[in-house]
């Protein structure tokens, strides 16, 4: 009898523990820890967002960088699918923009110059003769004010605010930027951007995660199959500056209207492929800019992981990590070789301030810039 009593007490305790574990798992959370200090002694935070399915994103307020993103494969095994570093010190060095927020202008502005309201503005030149990703100290290298957004039904969310001063990197106007990262309970990383200015300026914000759906450090991305919802892409010159035309993808290695392995045509003897050293171009997403629509999908056959990209932006820069060269050591201690990650940077077309035929990137005083992008994760057999 006494024996039975003990067994049932143990059973009850075990059941309680199981129930607690289930509740803990089902609870969406956001917590904050320290990510270290900058060289100037500023404290940097690391936020951990967890949704009800156990999907987890770690995001720092330094550059708004997504440091890790753990999602399940077809068997339910979680892996970190973004490239990056374990510690702040590695992010402080000049690098390939791993996981960062990019601004004020994603991608290039030719010769670092543009004219707005009859005034020529000279920007920092940091990519040959051109301006790239907001300049020498872009939004990827600044400290954002971070706040947990509580009570959002969609999932845990982090608000990041940054004031880019008039004249910063050469841009006019005090630009208030707000980015909200939400890890939804539908296994999506959703990024909402907004910005306002006190003087007309240009704005083109994006996000620069390098994905490897087999897990970061787990080889190259050449077998990942990609689909891009675009009949046209933006061809460039040898310096990656748009020619001004939008070119039909049909009959070119840029046709991803049906799924193709990234590696299938990446070394083809084709001028645009050579200019980009692989894929490093903007695709013109079909449908109406400003309206949330399907942009691209990537499927990694060994893990079964699928990532869909949805956006309100007119374009998506598909970059295949062509400049990674095996000199950076990633989170799992493995060297990041060439093409070991790919980016889907949703954005306006490069050099729009100098290209009258492209959709405008001018943000008027008093207007609000808005943009949303969703990276949705799932798996298939």
By the criterion CB under 6 A, which residues form the site for ligand GLA?
96-97, 107, 132, 240, 280, 317, 319, 323, 343, 345
State which residue, 46 or 102, has the beta carbon closest to ligand GLA. Answer: 102
In whole angstroms, give the CA distance from residue 79 to residue 304.
12
Q: 208 catalytic, yes or no?
A: yes
- For 282, what's the count of Cα atoms within 13 Å in the CB-facing half-sphere? 27
β-bridge pairing 119-122 and 315-319 = unpaired
- The residue of the chain with the least Cβ separation from ligand GLA equals 319
Torsion of CA 48, 209, 80, 145, to 10 degrees: -10
CB of 348 to ligand GLA, least distance (A): 13
CB of 75 to ligand GLA, least distance (A): 32
SS3 224: coil
In whole angstroms, give the CA distance from residue 112 to residue 273.
24
State which residue, 217 or 242, has the beta carbon closest to ligand GLA. Answer: 242
State which residue, 67 or 328, has the beta carbon closest to ligand GLA. Answer: 328
118-123 long-range contacts, CB within 8 A, separation 24+ = 119/172, 121/170, 121/171, 121/172, 122/170, 123/169, 123/170, 123/171
State which residue, 79 or 140, has the beta carbon closest to ligand GLA. Answer: 140
Beta strands in 165-277 (DSSP E): 175-183, 188-197, 201-202, 206-208, 225-228, 232-234, 247-248, 260-261
In whole angstroms, give the CA distance from residue 32 to residue 45.
7
State which residue, 240 or 371, has the beta carbon closest to ligand GLA. Answer: 240
CB count within 10 Å of CB 370 equals: 11
State which residue, 121 or 319, has the beta carbon closest to ligand GLA. Answer: 319
CB count within 10 Å of CB 253 equals: 18
CB of 155 to ligand GLA, least distance (A): 28
Tell me which of 168, 188, 300, 345 is the catalytic residue.
Answer: 345
CB of 347 to ligand GLA, least distance (A): 10
What Cα–Cα distance (Å) separates residue 99 from each residue in 85, 144, 342? 10, 15, 11
CB of 353 to ligand GLA, least distance (A): 16
Tell me which of 53, 131, 208, 348 is the catalytic residue.
Answer: 208
CB of 61 to ligand GLA, least distance (A): 21
Q: 25 catalytic, yes or no?
A: no
CB of 343 to ligand GLA, least distance (A): 6
Residue in 83, 84, 65 with CA at minimum distance from that of residue 207: 65
In whole angstroms, give the CA distance from residue 28 to residue 57.
12
Per DSSP, the residues of 46-64 read EEEEE-TT--EEEEESBTT
State which residue, 281 or 331, has the beta carbon closest to ligand GLA. Answer: 281
Which residues are the active-site residues?
208, 345
């Amino acid at each position: 009898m006494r024996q039975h009593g003990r067994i049932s007490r143990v059973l009850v305790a075990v059941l309680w523990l199981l129930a607690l574990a289930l509740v803990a798992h089902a609870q969406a959370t956001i917590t904050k820890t320290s990510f270290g200090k900058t060289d100037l002694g500023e404290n940097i935070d690391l936020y951990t967002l967890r949704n009800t399915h156990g999907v987890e994103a770690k995001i720092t307020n330094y550059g708004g960088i997504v440091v890790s993103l753990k999602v399940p494969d077809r068997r339910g095994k979680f892996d970190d699918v973004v490239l990056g570093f374990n510690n702040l010190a590695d992010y402080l060095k000049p690098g390939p923009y791993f996981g960062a927020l990019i601004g004020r202008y994603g991608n290039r502005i030719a010769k670092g110059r543009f004219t707005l309201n009859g005034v020529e503005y000279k920007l920092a030149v940091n990519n040959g003769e051109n301006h790239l990703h907001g300049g020498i100290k872009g939004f990827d290298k600044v400290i954002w004010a971070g706040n947990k957004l509580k009570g959002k039904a969609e999932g845990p969310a982090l608000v990041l605010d940054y004031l880019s001063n008039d004249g910063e990197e050469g841009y006019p106007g005090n630009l208030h930027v707000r980015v909200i990262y939400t890890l939804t309970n539908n296994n999506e990383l959703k990024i909402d951007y907004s910005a306002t200015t006190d003087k007309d300026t240009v704005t083109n914000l994006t996000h620069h995660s390098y994905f490897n759906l087999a897990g970061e450090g787990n080889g190259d991305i050449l077998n990942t199959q990609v689909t891009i919802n675009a009949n046209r892409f933006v061809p460039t010159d040898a310096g990656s500056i748009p020619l001004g035309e939008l070119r039909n993808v049909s009959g070119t290695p840029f046709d991803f209207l049906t799924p193709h392995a990234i590696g299938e045509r990446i070394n083809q003897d084709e001028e645009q492929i050579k200019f980009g050293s692989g894929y490093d171009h903007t695709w013109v997403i079909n449908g109406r800019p400003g309206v949330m629509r399907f942009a691209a999908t990537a499927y990694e056959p060994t893990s079964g992981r699928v990532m869909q990209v949805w956006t309100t932006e007119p374009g998506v820069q598909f970059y295949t990590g062509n400049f990674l060269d095996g000199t950076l050591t990633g989170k799992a201690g493995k060297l990041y070789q060439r093409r070991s990650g790919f980016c889907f940077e949703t954005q306006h077309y490069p050099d729009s301030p100098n290209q009258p035929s492209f959709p405008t990137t001018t943000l008027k005083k008093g207007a609000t810039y808005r943009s949303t992008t969703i990276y949705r994760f799932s798996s298939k057999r």
